[in-house]
């Protein structure tokens, strides 16, 4: 039976919109199988729901730097009411900034790059920006304004590198086992986030073992200075079980029966149950912090203009510490964003098996770079691709419409911030764990038969969640791969292939993907563009011809004998 939505999907697919976004049925040779307009809308809302926590989390982290507020004493003004009021206003500024830059970056990523990837200020990078560069209440090596200058310049450096194709090339030349390991590691990473205090709360801190079971009530913490570190009565917090059963088990059961929008249903069902105040699982307890959250929630519609952090950059590039911060931002962000984008593209089956690249990669990286610089003007840390995009991809998102819906939802969030900033962490924690379980399947394709491929892949997978940083996992995997494969290669060359690893034939071949380092737009501009797929097929055809000729020659020789 043909429904209204079937007719709607068919009409949009056959329109210019469908052609631009390569919706199934548009007739374009590169249409994306399984992509439908209504599915993209649902996927976009799912991604946004999984990312919405960043509005309040990013504001909370970066406001710890003090922003543009000036502390006149050496005690970090932790009891200065005037200074703390300024910091509270900076926090409200950052809620507006976070939603606004996420809206702009996600919308551009969808419209121009046609990728189902949401963008927002990145976790990890914002913590490094706040606590390592600016410092708590401005106690770090450079000021908040100078740190924004480093972020602003980083964006334009990335823009140039993206235009020249260097960022894409770095990812394409990575061995396939490492690429697959990054995706699996990200899966563990987001599952760990989902299980941790920023999600379900099942996992907490431990003063002896670093991590352990969490989920206790605040009065059972080891101390008030160590929230999430349970001294006793673990898993006694009712919100943990609400998140497990409504955000987790309920969601998976919906997925078992292939009910569309399962992740989104689980997130919103858990949120709605958590909003009434007189319950054990409320997000707004009767405490000063809960009263403040509820007062903000009751505003429903509000717009807070930037008062302290808009265009606050101090272009003091003569300061050597600014250059140090810039270099650090560069190498961490290039590995973080590159690994995330390629993993999301592979998860959505958008990666070309020949060139090992994804469609519109240059545009995607340019959008990312542009968003980083605009984010600095708005007062926030580097913008990056979000691994929570995997939730929308799991819902069927395959085109840029998904990212555009994410952007529109974040734009609405600018005005409805009290509602959207009130999705509790235990509502999204279950969804993150479910998506992590979907992404871990990459390990099936890793070459575990040769230890020179297996160990670097394993280190990549394990270090990403344990270090809470994608870039560190990539660095560990690449460095180990070079050592474990470079040293045996040197020994082979020096000994004339007399000393070789025992099972070298099981090693995954490392290839330089066709297409070259020069981006396609430059090749076309200079008239030197050759489709890498045609080049690949010609090389394979030549190799097969040589093999056939050799076999024919052997047969003729045997016949003559």
Q: What's the pLDDT score for residue 546?
A: 46
Query: End-to-end alpha-carbon separation of the chain, Å?
Result: 70
**CB burial string 308-331: b at 16+ within 10 A, e below:** bbeebbbeeeebebbeebbeebbe
User: Which secondary-structure segment (H or E) carries 120?
Assistant: strand 119-121
Q: What's the pLDDT score for residue 221?
A: 85
Contact 102, 74 (CB under 8 A): no
> What is the tens place of the pLDDT at every residue in 404-441?
999 999 999 888 777 766 778 888 788 888 878 877 88
Contact 310, 379 (CB under 8 A): yes
Q: What's the pLDDT score for residue 503?
A: 86
The tokens describing 488, both together, are: 């045996």
Q: Is 515 exposed, middle or buried (0-12, 13-18, 19+ CB in 10 A)?
A: buried
If one counts every other C-beta atom within 10 angstroms of the C-beta of residue 34, the result is 11
Q: What's the pLDDT score for residue 487?
A: 94
If one counts every other C-beta atom within 10 angstroms of the C-beta of residue 8, the result is 13
- The Cα-based distances of 301 to 297, 413, 419, 561 in angstroms read 9, 9, 8, 92
Number of residues written out for the chain = 561
Cα torsion at 131, 134, 138, 144 (round to 10°)? Answer: -140
Q: What's the pLDDT score for residue 259?
A: 77
Contact 428, 247 (CB under 8 A): yes
Contact 90, 68 (CB under 8 A): yes
Between CA 74 and CA 71 the distance in angstroms is 8
Q: What's the pLDDT score for residue 32?
A: 85
HEC per residue, 205-221: EECCCEEEECCCCHHHE
Q: Report, as ranges of residue numbers, the positions in the chain whose pLDDT lies below 50.
A: 543, 546-547
If one counts every other C-beta atom within 10 angstroms of the C-beta of residue 517, the result is 13
């Amino acid at each position: 039976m043909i429904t209204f939505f079937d007719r709607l999907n068919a009409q949009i697919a056959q329109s210019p919109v469908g052609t631009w976004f390569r919706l199934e049925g548009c007739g374009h040779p590169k249409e994306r199988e399984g992509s439908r307009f209504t599915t993209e809308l649902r996927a976009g809302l799912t991604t946004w729901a999984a990312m919405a926590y960043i509005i309040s989390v990013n504001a909370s982290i970066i406001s710890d730097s003090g922003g543009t507020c000036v502390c006149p004493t050496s005690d970090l003004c932790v009891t200065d009411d005037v200074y703390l009021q300024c910091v509270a206003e900076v926090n409200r500024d950052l809620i507006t900034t976070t939603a606004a830059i996420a809206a702009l970056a996600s919308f551009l990523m969808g419209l121009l790059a046609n990728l189902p990837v949401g963008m927002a200020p990145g976790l990890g990078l914002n913590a490094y920006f706040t606590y390592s560069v600016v410092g708590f209440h401005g106690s770090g090596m450079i000021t908040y304004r100078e740190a924004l200058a480093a972020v602003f310049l980083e964006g334009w450096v990335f823009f140039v590198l993206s235009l020249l194709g260097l960022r894409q090339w770095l990812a394409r030349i990575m061995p396939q086992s490492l690429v697959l390991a990054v995706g699996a590691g990200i899966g563990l990473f987001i599952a760990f986030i989902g299980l941790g205090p920023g999600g379900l709360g099942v996992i907490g801190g431990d003063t002896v073992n670093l991590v352990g079971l969490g989920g206790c009530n605040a009065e059972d913490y080891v101390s008030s200075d160590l929230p999430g570190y349970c001294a006793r009565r673990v898993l006694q917090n009712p919100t943990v079980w609400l998140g497990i059963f409504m955000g987790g088990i309920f969601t998976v059961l919906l997925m078992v029966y292939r009910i569309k929008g399962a992740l989104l249903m689980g997130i919103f069902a858990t949120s709605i149950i958590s909003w009434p105040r007189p319950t054990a699982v409320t997000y707004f307890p009767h405490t000063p912090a809960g009263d403040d959250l509820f007062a903000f929630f009751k505003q429903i519609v509000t717009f807070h203009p930037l008062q302290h952090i808009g265009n606050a950059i101090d272009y003091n590039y003569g300061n050597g510490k600014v250059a140090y911060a810039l270099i650090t931002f560069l190498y961490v962000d290039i590995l973080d964003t590159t690994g995330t984008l390629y993993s999301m593209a592979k998860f959505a089956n958008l990666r070309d098996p020949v060139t090992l690249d994804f469609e519109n990669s240059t545009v995607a990286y340019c959008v990312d770079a542009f968003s980083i610089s605009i984010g600095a003007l708005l007062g926030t840390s580097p913008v990056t691709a979000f691994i929570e995009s995997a939730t929308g991809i799991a819902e069927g998102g395959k085109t840029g419409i998904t990212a555009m819906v994410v952007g529109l939802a974040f734009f609405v969030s600018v005005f409805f911030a009290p509602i959207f900033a009130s999705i509790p962490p235990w509502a999204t924690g279950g969804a993150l764990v479910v998506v992590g379980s979907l992404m871990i399947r990459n390990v099936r394709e890793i070459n575990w038969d040769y230890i020179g491929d297996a160990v670097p892949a394993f280190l990549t997978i394990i270090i990403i969640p344990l270090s809470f940083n994608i870039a560190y996992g990539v660095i560990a995997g690449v460095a180990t791969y070079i050592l474990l494969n470079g040293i045996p290669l040197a020994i082979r060359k020096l000994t004339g292939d007399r000393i070789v690893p025992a099972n070298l034939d099981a090693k995954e071949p490392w290839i330089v993907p066709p297409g070259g380092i020069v981006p396609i737009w430059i090749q076309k501009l200079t008239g030197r563009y050759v489709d890498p797929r045609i080049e690949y097929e010609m090389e394979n055809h030549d190799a097969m011809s040589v093999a056939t000729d050799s076999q024919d020659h052997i047969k003729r020789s045997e016949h003559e004998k």
